[in-house]
């Protein structure tokens, strides 16, 4: 199959050839003709399968036939993903003089308003900042929009993200009823299906055939290391150093559970003479962009990050993903390891599991339908490094503590909620309520897994 047979013009095909994209992927082959036919669409496919071009190409094709502003709105859950989509649109649409506007937090709102006044063809942004412009900018309107795209739809439509829900409602209320709605995601949820079912334009649903099998790609080698909590940082440093020595050109992404932990480990790596960058939500937008660009350009090949970098980012050079912790939500694991082994390439992931996270690991394996294999590590090397690494990590924790990092984080979060017109105390109470509900769900899941394990053991004994 070629792009021309999907209904795309010669100019798009020529531009794709320029960037060495010559054959459409399965999700592109299925979705592009249906979108061009005017249907609403939901595309569910694994990470790295080409979902961005599946919605970007038909939008650019129809825009080139009847250009006007504002033609399409593309929403993403993270700033980094918005930057990436904006870059891809500009690369493919350069031949037709595409004008885009990036509307995300961390950038001057006045500059963004001036950009919107220039009537861009496509607006790419995060829901919070775009909703803010709808409230504050009286000259900004979305009444002529033809396409609404929600990328990483499972995350944006989740009920446990009240700010996303509120901002999305405001944006959708400002859009015309006569439009096409396109939802794309790597992990499907009931709310995504319910949303597309409510769309009026004969919705087309594409779900990759292998989505009902493994949730991760077959070219990904998934391993784990069972480690005491006290030595987890030592194993992490050992893994990074060993990989840099044996594969010096490979890029590594290290996922951690909090902004503070990312900051501490980044400083520890610096003291250990390991070149790295960190990326988390407490950094300024300028520093976030600089860190990501340094990593993408391979100036540094270790990125320590939170889940802000787990969705949608396409960095071809990533060969190894290390999970410093097992995420509470198994879907987050799928998105983390999806940063490697993309577009048919091979990749590796290693998850550091302490005894308290065994149940979470079983939940991940149940979702992915893949049993991780244990990675053998020379414990004598860990013993040699233990005192040095743990001492440096503690020093960095003290340094970060003196800078009131936790207090600054809380203030940062409260200010962000106040800017959205929300009561921080009510949001915190709602968050705690949902946390208690999730803990109860995990407790029940743990009981089911234990019963299943006992039943399997009993069957083995009888045999």
pLDDT in tens, 307-344: 999 987 888 789 999 999 999 999 899 999 999 988 77
- How far apart are alpha carbons 367 and 207 in whole angstroms? 17
Residue 83 has pLDDT above 80, yes or no: yes
- The answer, yes or no, to whether residue 212 has pLDDT greater than 60, is no
How far, in Å, are 188, 234, 335, 434 from residue 331 at the CA level?
10, 27, 7, 17
- pLDDT, one tens digit per residue, over 346-367 is 999 999 999 999 999 999 999 9
Distance CA 349, CA 253 (A): 9
What CATH number is given to the structural domain containing 242? 3.40.50.300
> Does 414 map to a domain?
no
Looking at the structure, do residues 327 and 362 belong to the same domain, yes or no? yes
Residue 88 within a domain:
yes
395 in the same domain as 440:
no
Say whether both 427 and 405 belong to one domain. Answer: no
In a domain, 188, yes or no: yes
d(CA 11, CA 218): 34
Chain centroid offset of residue 410 CA: 23
233 pLDDT higher than 70: yes
Which of 212, 246, 272 terminates a domain? The answer is 212
Edge-first strand listing for the sheet containing 147-151? 100-103, 122-125, 72-75, 147-151, 180-185, 41-44, 204-207
332 and 384 fall within a common domain: yes
Same domain, 178 and 269: no
**Residues 208 and 97 grouped into a single domain:** yes
Same-domain pairing of 202 and 70: yes
Give the total number of structural domains in the chain: 3
Last residue of a domain, one of 212, 241, 266: 212
Q: Which residues contact 70 (CB under 8 A, 6 or more apart)?
A: 119, 120, 121, 122, 123, 141, 142, 144, 145
Residue 435 has pLDDT above 80, yes or no: no
pLDDT for 409: 66
| φ, ψ dihedrals at 17, nearest 5° | -60, -35
pLDDT at 372: 96
Instruction: Give a yes or no: residue 415 inside a domain.
Output: no
Q: What's the whole-number average pLDDT of the chain?
A: 89
- The verdict on 428 and 345 lying in the same domain is no
Domain encompassing residue 368: 220-409
pLDDT band at 213 (very low <50, low <70, confident <90, very high): low
Task: Note whether residue 444 is domain-resident.
Answer: yes
pLDDT tens digits along 385-396: 999 999 999 999
Among all chains, which residue has been given the structure tokens 């249906």? 34
Listed range (108-117, 136-145, 452-461) with the worst mean pLDDT: 452-461
Provide the pairing of β-strand 347-353 with 41-44.
unpaired
């Amino acid at each position: 199959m070629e792009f021309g047979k999907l209904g795309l013009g010669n100019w798009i095909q020529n531009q794709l050839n320029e960037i060495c994209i010559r054959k459409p992927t399965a999700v592109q082959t299925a979705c592009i003709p249906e979108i061009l036919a005017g249907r609403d669409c939901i595309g569910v496919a694994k990470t790295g399968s080409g979902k961005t071009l599946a919605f970007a190409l038909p939008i650019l094709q129809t825009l080139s036939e009847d250009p006007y502003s504002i033609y399409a709105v593309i929403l993403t859950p993270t700033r980094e993903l918005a930057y990436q989509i904006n870059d891809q649109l500009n690369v493919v649409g350069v031949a037709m003089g595409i004008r885009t506007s990036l509307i995300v937090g961390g950038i001057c709102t006045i500059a963004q308003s001036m950009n919107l006044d220039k009537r861009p063809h496509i607006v790419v942004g995060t829901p919070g900042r775009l909703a803010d412009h709808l409230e504050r900018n009286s000259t900004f309107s979305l009444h002529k929009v033809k396409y609404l795209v929600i990328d990483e739809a499972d995350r944006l439509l989740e009920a446990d993200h009240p700010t996303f829900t509120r901002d999305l409602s405001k944006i959708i209320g400002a859009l015309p009823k006569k439009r096409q709605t396109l939802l794309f995601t790597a992990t499907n949820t009931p709310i995504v299906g319910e949303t597309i079912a409510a769309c009026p334009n004969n919705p087309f649903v594409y779900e990759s055939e292998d989505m009902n099998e493994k949730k991760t790609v077959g070219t990904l080698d998934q391993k784990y290391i069972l480690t005491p909590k006290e030595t987890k940082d030592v194993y992490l440093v050992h893994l990074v150093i060993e990989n840099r020595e044996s594969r010096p050109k490979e890029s590594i992404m290290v996922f951690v559970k909090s902004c503070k932990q990312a900051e501490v480990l980044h400083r520890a790596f610096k003291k250990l003479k390991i070149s790295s960058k960190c990326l988390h939500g407490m950094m300024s937008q300028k520093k976030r962009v600089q860190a990501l660009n340094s990593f993408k350009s391979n100036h540094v090949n270790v990125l320590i990050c939170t889940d802000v970098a787990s969705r949608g980012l396409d960095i071809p050079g990533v060969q190894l993903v290390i999970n410093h912790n097992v995420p509470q939500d198994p879907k987050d694991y799928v998105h983390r390891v999806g940063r490697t082994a993309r577009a048919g390439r091979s990749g590796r992931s290693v998850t550091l599991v302490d005894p308290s996270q065994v149940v979470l690991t079983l939940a991940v394996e149940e979702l992915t339908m893949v049993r991780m294999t244990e990675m053998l590590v020379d414990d004598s090397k860990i013993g040699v490094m233990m005192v040095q690494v743990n001492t440096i990590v503690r020093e960095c924790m003290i340094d970060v503590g003196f800078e009131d990092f936790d207090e600054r984080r809380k203030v940062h979060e409260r200010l962000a909620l106040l800017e959205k017109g929300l009561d921080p105390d009510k949001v915190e109470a709602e968050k705690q309520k949902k946390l208690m509900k999730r803990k109860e769900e995990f407790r029940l899941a743990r009981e089911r897994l234990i019963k299943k394990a006992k039943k399997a053991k009993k069957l083995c004994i009888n045999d």
